Each structure stands twice: as C-alpha cells, then as structure tokens.
Structure 1
C-alpha cells in the first residue's frame, strides 16, 4: 500500500493499452517488463510506480506513475533509446497501442 506521503509525490501518469502480436506470450511480456524494471525503470528517481494489467479480450495496459505528467512523458521518450524497452515494444501490435498521459488534479 502506498502511504499518504508517497501519494503526495504523485502528479502524473502514462497509461498505454495494447494487444500483443500474434504468437507473443504473456510470459514473455512479463519477463521483459521485469527486466525493464530492473535495468531501466528502477533508475528513474521520480517514477513512483510501474505495472502491467490485463483486461478483457487480450488487452493489456502499461501504467507508469511519476512525480508529474511531464516526467511520465520524459520517461516514456527514454524507452526509445533503451535496448530492453525496444525489445518490449516489439512484442506489441503497434496499431492497437493507445498511449495517453494524465495529470493528477486531486
């Protein structure tokens, strides 16, 4: 559970939904997500939380919660220069990706 002190430091998030390419397993997605967390995301000081969720009909969401919407967007851009992140992105059916950024208002 995130404490109230940690909640106060949360100001924005990235929320991206997607489907996996045919033949890609959820296990592979989770494997690369875990590797990405260890090698890249854990180094981002203002990233409070990152996780994957699964919805209906094979839709997944990648959620990154940061100190601000701007930081969430900055971290997202950095994926494009990270080897593991690029491998992760290769698993996604590109035409199904819907990425949005949000600012906390309350």
Structure 2
C-alpha cells in the first residue's frame, strides 16, 4: 500500500520478523494483510507504505514506513486494539516475533 509517492516523507520504520503459526498458510496471511490495509492502515494519515516480505525458512517481515519513528510506534500500538489487526496477529507465532523501530538518518 502506498499512500504518498514521496519517499522524502519517510522518517521512521517498523520492521517485524515472524513465523506463522502451525497450519496457517501464506495465502491466509496475505488475504488478512489486505483486509488490515483496507479497514485500518489506509486511515492512518502519516503511514507512507506498508508491505510484507518473505525470507528463508518460513520467515516473514511486516514493514511499515511512516513520517517518523514515533508515528510508526504509535500505529503499531493501535494494532492491539483494532479487531481486524488482532485477527492478523492471531496468525503469527508470537514466540518468533522480533520487532524493531528505526529512524531515517539520510
């Protein structure tokens, strides 16, 4: 999802790696990610870009680029109270999550 075509507006990032729970498919993850974008993320004015990537050995990363690190952290906290976002989080093996926040420096 791209809300703003200006890369210069990116000031912070949330980067979370994870594995899916046993029995959850990538198709289900992608479908629910689209639903989260439609019902939750598109309403966040300072969210610039959100996407999923797949790595090796069943690892995934959820990436959110925002106007600041503080905004990225605030949006992350909102996931915990949004019904569709909570559905998405239910797909994830919570013991595998590594979430970090970053500030753009150039």
Q: When the two structures are superposed, what TM-score results if normalisation uses the length of structure 1?
A: 0.95
Q: Which residue of 2 aligns with 1:78?
A: 78
Report how many residues are paired. Answer: 103
Paired residue secondary structure (1:57): coil
- Which string of whole-angstrom CA distances, capped at 9 and with x for unpartnered residues, describes residues 28-61 of structure 1? 1001100000000000010000000000000000
Q: When the two structures are superposed, what TM-score results if normalisation uses the length of structure 2?
A: 0.95
Runs of 4+ in 1 over 4 A off after TM superposition: none
Q: Which residue of 2 aligns with 1:87?
A: 87
Q: Which runs of 5+ in 1 are unaligned?
A: none
- Which string of whole-angstrom CA distances, capped at 9 and with x for unpartnered residues, describes residues 47-86 of structure 1? 0000000000000000000000000000000001100100
Structure 2 counterparts to residues 1-106 of structure 1, below 5 A: 6-106=6-106
User: RMSD across aligned C-alpha pairs, in angstroms?
Assistant: 1.1
Give the number of the structure whose residues are more often helix, by fraction.
1
Q: Which runs of 5+ in 2 are unaligned?
A: none
d(CA) in 2 for partners of 1:39, 1:84: 7
